[in-house]
Structure 1
Amino acid sequence: MITGDYARQMARYGHWQNTQLSGFLQALPQDELTRERGAFFGSILGTANHLLWGDWIWISRFDKGQGPGGGIPESVSLCADLAAWLALRERIDARIADWAEGLPEGLLSGPFSWFSAAKEAEVVRPYAQCVIHMFNHQTHHRGQLHQMLTETGSDAPVSDLVFLPEDV
């Protein structure tokens, strides 16, 4: 279905996207970051927090490291402010990159199991499907952030995968 190269490229892409996003978020006043926008996760910061929480929960499942704690409802308040979000975003992106670099090809063809608090059950799915889900989840929520940034009058990050710089 996918290869380790796919995971490594998507980790690079996610980091590139998050680096661009960070710059746009830092340019916004605090009230724009926290304004309720009618989005599923409320504000720009709430959505950015949920995106980061989702990455953290999935990478903790993959690398068996520390997870974020809490559940989806608490995800919007993961970081109280942008400074905390920026620092944690860098740490989680580095963790995803490290995991992808060491990902053995054979692992992708096997099953993956975890306890889902949302389902309150043990879940087993193909490992590759879970990896694809993590990266798809990122893209989905960055699309929401792109829309909200546009609504503020801000420019938004270039999101086309085909424009991913080789040196990122």
Structure 2
Amino acid sequence: MNRIEHIGLMASYNQWMNRKLYDAASTLSDAQLSMDRQAFFGSILGTLNHLALGDTVWLKRFAQHPVGYPALAPLSAIATPVDLKQLAFANIRELATRRAWLDQLIIDWAQSVQESDLDHRLHYHNMRGTATDKDFFSLLVHFFNHQTHHRGQATTLLTQAGLDVGTTDLLALID
């Protein structure tokens, strides 16, 4: 599997897992979703909000790649989050709508990435405003790893709430 195929696989895995998480989470009440479960982002809703906000920040950074990625153009209408712990979406229904939109955007964008794009160094500012310059492919690996990491936390919180999201292994999508 080459790097482009890997990015496509990770984008598909992201969408597949988010659907599973949101299907499970949508069976809980707003109170259950907002309950402080002593997790890093407090609640199930807080954890899922963090994922959507983090994805938004990274995708907006990726949109600054010299290639321009037209698939990421719709992000220009969305403000860049300033706090990754905020509850930007007060309920699972609003958040699920944004999540589905982001996941399709990620799929569309991943299909537009070319091998030659991956060796570029991306200049961006971190959340503290510090300028940095990093290998683009490594940033993509981080982007997908960040999603997997926090979905693991969300899966644990859902399990603690008595729900089973089913198979979560990437192996399920590998031929």
- Which residue in the other structure is 1:8 paired with? 8
Paired AA for residue 94 in structure 2: A
TM norm structure 2: 0.87
- Distance in 1, matches of 2:21 and 2:174, equals 15
Which of the residues 115, 118, 122 maps onto 1:108? 118
Paired AA for residue 117 in structure 1: M
Paired AA for residue 155 in structure 1: D
- Which residue in the other structure is 1:58 paired with? 58
Secondary structure of 2:118's aligned partner:
helix
Residues 144 and 124 from structure 1, CA distance in 2 versus in 1: closer, same or farther, beyond 3 angstroms?
same
- Which residue in the other structure is 1:76 paired with? 86
- Which residue in the other structure is 2:98 paired with? 88
Secondary structure of 2:40's aligned partner:
coil
Q: Is the 8 A contact 1:45 1:76 kept in 2?
A: no
Deviation at 1:97, TM superposition (A): 0.8
Q: CA RMSD in A?
A: 1.6
Residue deviations 1:41-86, cap 9 Å, x none? 000000000011111111111124335423234x431211111001
Deviation at 1:117, TM superposition (A): 2.4
- Which residue in the other structure is 2:163 paired with? 154
- Which residue in the other structure is 2:18 paired with? 18
Which of the residues 123, 144, 157 maps onto 2:153? 144
Deviation at 1:105, TM superposition (A): 0.5
Q: Is the 8 A contact 2:56 2:81 kept in 1?
A: no
Aligned residues, how many?
A: 163
- Which residue in the other structure is 1:99 paired with? 109
TM norm structure 1: 0.90
Q: Is the 8 A contact 1:56 1:68 kept in 2?
A: no
Deviation at 1:164, TM superposition (A): 2.1
- Distance in 2, matches of 1:101 and 1:62, equals 14
Q: Is the 8 A contact 2:33 2:43 kept in 1?
A: yes
Percent of aligned pairs sharing the same letter: 33
Deviation at 1:3, TM superposition (A): 1.2
Residue deviations 1:93-118, cap 9 Å, x none? 11111110000111111211111123
Deviation at 1:165, TM superposition (A): 7.5
Q: Which runs of 5+ in 1 are unaligned?
A: none
Q: Is the 8 A contact 1:57 1:68 kept in 2?
A: no
Paired AA for residue 88 in structure 2: L
